[in-house]
Amino acid sequence: MEPDPDRRRGAWRQRATDIALIVLSVAIGLSSANSRLADPGAVPPALLYTDIALGLLGCLGLWWRRQYPLHVATVLIVLSSFSEVASLGALVAVFTVASRCPARTAATTAVASLLALGLFFVLRPEPAVPLWVLLLLLVSVYAAVVGWGMLVRSRRQLIESLRERAAAAEIEAALRSERAQHEARETLAREMHDVLGHRLSLLSVHAGALAFHRGASAEEAARAADVIRENAHRALQDLREVIGVLRAPVGEVPLPDVGDIGELVGETVRSGTPVELHDEHGVASGGQPVPATAGRTLYRFVQESLTNARKHAPGAPVVVRITGVHGDRLEAEVENAAPAGPPAPAPAGSGAGLRGLAERATLVGGAVEYGPTGPGGWRVGMRLPWPA
């Protein structure tokens, strides 16, 4: 992977700054040393050449000032106590410490550098300038340099904090998106389970009827075969829908609405189960506004209840009632009579559909109740909020 161009430019800029500071420190130090060489009696030549050599080595150490700020500053401060060439390098090192270390460390380093320079001027005084004037000037310069360095450090910390917050916000957004996708997939799985369960229950009922009534007439067998073929075809369509939705972006899930209840009841009647629909407010025909979530929950309630009625009481008449008070609550119930023959044995996993309905109703602030109604009958009721 190629490095970030902005990061590469920043690294080259830092190195260019280091080179410029080294050259500047060396140039100013050599200029001061050259003026000393012009006055042979001021400083012994051997001491002056030692000053230049050690100062040059110390200034070259500024190349590593970012990686080892305290180490470089310590070396230059020690050298500046007897090397005039190293004095500007020591000032740069103090700035680096102030910009990269805590305030207490920066203040300690600045005081140590001032003491080293004070020692230098005590050992090699400047007759033209009083010592207190030099020290006052140096204190002012160092205070400004340390303050500048601390300002740079504060700005860097602020930028890093903003970057961390931005990264945390991106992570949180990614987690929210992942949760939304997970919830959408769960919704899809639940919806498709209900749809396919409804289709397959029709197939099971009519295939079982054909297997049980082997003496059925050709017309009855043909009608049952038509129902089986139709629902098998619709089940395949539902599976294609599932595959298409899984390939589509999250959120584009085709979900049924309350207006599909009439078609659901008609399909059940065509399959051989007599169903009466009593819709007091015209909810199933779209005559009253029902929130999408409540309408979808109501549809799934009717679908699951009709599926259970076919499973446990095949052929028994079913009554679907939808009532309620607009602005208060929406109520629905599905009641089936006792089956004509012996009740069908409960298949494995019975009760999961009712638990799923109860969970759906709870999610939208409603409730589900169910129980027997006389000999062999069964009633399932749901109550949902119906805001105005």
Instruction: Please report the pLDDT score of residue 149 as a whole number.
Output: 86
User: Which residue has better confidence, 247 or 250?
Assistant: 247
Instruction: Please report the pLDDT score of residue 148 as a whole number.
Output: 87
Query: What is the C-alpha separation between 313 and 379, in angstroms, rounded?
Result: 12
Q: Is the pLDDT of residue 1 over 50?
A: no
CB atoms within 10 A of CB 317: 15
Average pLDDT (96-104) is 87
User: Whole-number mean pLDDT of the chain?
Assistant: 77
pLDDT exceeding 90 applies to what percent of the chain?
4
Q: Is 365 helix (H, G, I), strand (E, B) or coil?
A: coil
263 falls in which pLDDT band (50, 70, 90)? confident
Average pLDDT (222-245) is 67
CB atoms within 10 A of CB 91: 22
Residue 136 lies in a domain: no
Residue 320 lies in a domain: yes
Q: Is 377 helix (H, G, I), strand (E, B) or coil?
A: coil
Highest average pLDDT, of 58-67, 194-203, 342-351, comes from 58-67
- Alpha-carbon Rg of the chain, whole angstroms? 44
Dig out the tokens for 135 from the structure.
């020290």
- Residue in 388, 228, 366, 213 with CA at minimum distance from that of residue 297: 366
Domain boundary residue, one of 78, 102, 128? 128
User: Which residue has better confidence, 147 or 20?
Assistant: 147
Residue 383 near residue 329 (C-beta atoms within 8 A): yes
Residue 113 lies in a domain: yes
242 falls in which pLDDT band (50, 70, 90)? low
For position 352, which CATH number holds? 3.30.565.10
Q: Is 28 helix (H, G, I), strand (E, B) or coil?
A: helix
Q: Is the pLDDT of residue 345 over 70?
A: no
Average pLDDT (221-234) is 70
Instruction: Please report the pLDDT score of residue 169 as a whole number.
Output: 82
Task: Identify the domain containing residue 261 by its residue range.
Answer: 256-388
Residue 58 lies in a domain: yes
Dig out the tokens for 211 from the structure.
């297997």
Average pLDDT (110-117) is 86
Residue 212 lies in a domain: no
381 falls in which pLDDT band (50, 70, 90)? very high
Strands 329-336 and 378-385, bridge-based pairing? antiparallel
Average pLDDT (306-316) is 81
Residue 169 lies in a domain: no
Domain boundary residue, one of 85, 108, 128? 128
Q: Is 317 helix (H, G, I), strand (E, B) or coil?
A: coil
Domain boundary residue, one of 128, 145, 163? 128
Q: pLDDT tens across 119-134, in order? A: 877 777 665 667 677 7
Residue 39 lies in a domain: yes
Q: Which string of DSSP letters, residue by residue, matches 72-107?
A: HHHHHHHHHTT-STTHHHHHHHHHHHHHHS-HHHHH
Q: What is the pTM of this model?
A: 0.45
Please report the sign of the dihedral spanned by the C-alpha atoms of residue 10, residue 16, residue 20, residue 22. Answer: positive
Distance between terminal CA atoms of the chain?
58
Residue 167 lies in a domain: no
Q: Is the pLDDT of residue 348 over 70?
A: no
What is the total count of domains within the chain?
Answer: 2
Average pLDDT (97-121) is 86
